[in-house]
Chains A and B, each alone.
Chain A
């Protein structure tokens, strides 16, 4: 999914020439849909789809806040969507127009409603967790553990020091990484308290010498190639790295774990901009996506779980039973989801992040 941070900036051109009836402009994360989903939708409805991709929530947000994007569907993460909704950039979802809306898991919808009251503006596309991807052979060799399932691999300086030589990567995402640090410290991961932030920053600073880089997508290739041996990252990305490593057959192994201390669960949301030129086509697409077989196809392809209960039986068994994709209830119980921060906290967070990264 979150691939090539820069390509996103460069490819920011607006969706192709729309305006004629019968088109739909979608703006989704890169590598985040099954190969045939769009083709099937086009064949069935006769609607021409312009499909653009991005790789960072921040880029989407900047475009949405500028306005006139020409997109009919965008897929921001929930906490970003919630804030953009406050700025009035989305139109409410017409649930009555979506026949398959009832397929959505009420448990998931209730969690999402904490950030999107009454599920007004968004329909969950895929769900992800933020855990640890690692190279079992190299990690075992250095830490002498058989089943690495703790954030201590990363946050305990003694353990991180032993892994530094084979490469540790962190997401370049201040909110997600400090939330993980807060959770590891036993503090509220959604805290906006300055003292809490200082503690999280101190923890991250203590392991800073052992971090090779901060990047939100590079670890996919690097884990697969064996260029890093531990990465905090998005579940589906790490599982894609696992598969690439298997396909390459170079003897590199990659595993994903949702550590026992708990992890962040996130939701990428289908939302319709208030100035979307074809909102009725957007609703048709959302309805199409919520068909059990279509949701299942996408999960099978991208290794992210969907919130479509009717789709779960249709998802490949290997995907459905993978605890990294569909976590069991006892793991789910320890998960937390992010909230949008106020601007002052965001500034303090970005500043602390720069200090952690550069020492300035």
Chain B
């Protein structure tokens, strides 16, 4: 009887883990495989617009893999420049988001209990409006005769409207604004767990506030910093909407290159290859970072 129960428990456990595995397989690995398959194909005027990579004729199954799409990405420096451009914009935006988000998260975590929920609510509140609309709203603020320029001209600070829309500045602004909650929330979770007794002990031992922050608060909130940075950096690299709406024509990001391959060139195979490379370029460093992180945790 007990043997039966334990076997049942075991099956129950594997059943529970099967759900997320199935999820991963269905919504990540399967689309990835489809993409990988298309990336090895060749574009054609057909429906769908690429050739099949296998052929069944006279009882012979033949495969034709076209790695030319990947070679093509190496031949033309455009793709490398676009990747680097995206990574640069994502890195700078992540840094700015961290600089703005950290003090906000700190203040929320240190606020009296009854006020914390209200403050957190304010951070999450913008999500009640569509992301697209919030980015559109910035157009109204930034454009030539938009809110900011009108106010500045009315105050007499400037005579000619500033060109803010269609610049890299607007892209950074859009990304930082849109992703700030993703930075604040994990930072808050890390900071709110911080034992205040540690800070008091540090002060008692004569440490100045900055020293306490640098040696105690910051290291203990590091998991929050890393989680927040990932949540901002990863989507920012592949960001398409914000640069498309706010960015200028010389903002070169991989998202728009991908759009061009898919829509303007109608070359789904090359578009798929760009996407696969982007995934690998993003996933590998993150896997390495995660490993370093978990090793550190084990050491502790």
Binding site for B on A (CB under 8 A): 5-7, 10, 56, 58-59, 61-62, 64-67, 83, 86-89, 167, 174, 211-214, 222, 225-227, 343, 346-347, 350-351, 353-354, 357-360
Question: With A343-B267, A360-B81 in contact, is A62–B144 under 8 Å at CB?
Answer: no
B37 interface residue (CB < 8 Å to A): no
Q: Give B163-198 interface residues, CB cut-off 8 Å to A.
A: 163, 166
Instruction: Please tell me if the beta carbons of B266 and A346 are within 8 angstroms of each other in the complex.
Output: yes
Residues of B within 8 A of A222 (CB): 143-144
Query: Of B11-19, B245-253, B288-296, which stretch is located at the interface?
Result: B245-253
Give the Cβ gap from A85 to chain B, nearest Cβ, in Å.
Answer: 10
Instruction: Please tell me if the beta carbons of B48 and A66 are within 8 angstroms of each other in the complex.
Output: yes
B78 interface residue (CB < 8 Å to A): yes
A104 vs B48: C-alpha distance when bound (angstroms) = 33
- Residue of A61, A89, A347 most packed against chain B (CB within 10 A): A347
Question: With A226-B145, A357-B249, A358-B249 in contact, is A58–B264 under 8 Å at CB?
Answer: yes
Please name the residue on chain B nearest to A211 by beta carbon. B249
A167 vs B132: C-alpha distance when bound (angstroms) = 25
* A-B CB proximity, top 5 nearest: A58-B263, A357-B249, A227-B144, A358-B252, A65-B49
Instruction: Please tell me if the beta carbons of B78 and A360 are within 8 angstroms of each other in the complex.
Output: yes
Residues of A within 8 A of B49 (CB): 65, 87
A5 vs B257: C-alpha distance when bound (angstroms) = 16
Question: With A65-B48, A89-B47, A212-B166 in contact, is A350–B250 under 8 Å at CB?
Answer: no
A346 vs B45: C-alpha distance when bound (angstroms) = 13
B117 interface residue (CB < 8 Å to A): no
B204 interface residue (CB < 8 Å to A): no
Q: Give B242-289 interface residues, CB cut-off 8 Å to A.
A: 244-245, 248-252, 257, 260, 262-267
Residues of A within 8 A of B81 (CB): 360
Question: With A213-B166, A213-B248 in contact, is A343–B43 under 8 Å at CB?
Answer: yes
Give the Cβ gap from B52 to chain A, nearest Cβ, in Å.
Answer: 15
A359 vs B82: C-alpha distance when bound (angstroms) = 12
Q: What would 25 A/B residue contacts be, using CB atoms closer than 8 Å?
A: A6-B244, A7-B132, A62-B262, A62-B266, A64-B47, A65-B49, A66-B48, A67-B48, A87-B47, A88-B46, A88-B47, A214-B249, A227-B143, A227-B144, A343-B45, A343-B266, A346-B264, A350-B265, A351-B78, A354-B252, A358-B249, A358-B250, A358-B252, A359-B250, A360-B77
B199 interface residue (CB < 8 Å to A): no
Instruction: Please tell me if the beta carbons of B244 and A5 are within 8 angstroms of each other in the complex.
Output: yes
Give the Cβ gap from A217 to chain B, nearest Cβ, in Å.
Answer: 12
Residues of A within 8 A of B77 (CB): 360
Instruction: Please tell me if the beta carbons of B260 and A354 are within 8 angstroms of each other in the complex.
Output: yes
Residues of A within 8 A of B143 (CB): 222, 227
Instruction: Please tell me if the beta carbons of A87 and B132 are within 8 angstroms of each other in the complex.
Output: no
B241 interface residue (CB < 8 Å to A): yes
B58 interface residue (CB < 8 Å to A): no
Please name the residue on chain B nearest to A64 by beta carbon. B47
Residues of A within 8 A of B166 (CB): 212-213
A325 vs B46: C-alpha distance when bound (angstroms) = 36
Instruction: Please tell me if the beta carbons of A351 and B267 are within 8 angstroms of each other in the complex.
Output: no
- Residue of B144, B145, B249 most packed against chain A (CB within 10 A): B249
Give the Cβ gap from A198 to chain B, nearest Cβ, in Å.
Answer: 16
B297 interface residue (CB < 8 Å to A): no
Give the Cβ gap from B262 to chain A, nearest Cβ, in Å.
Answer: 7
Please name the residue on chain B nearest to A172 by beta carbon. B249
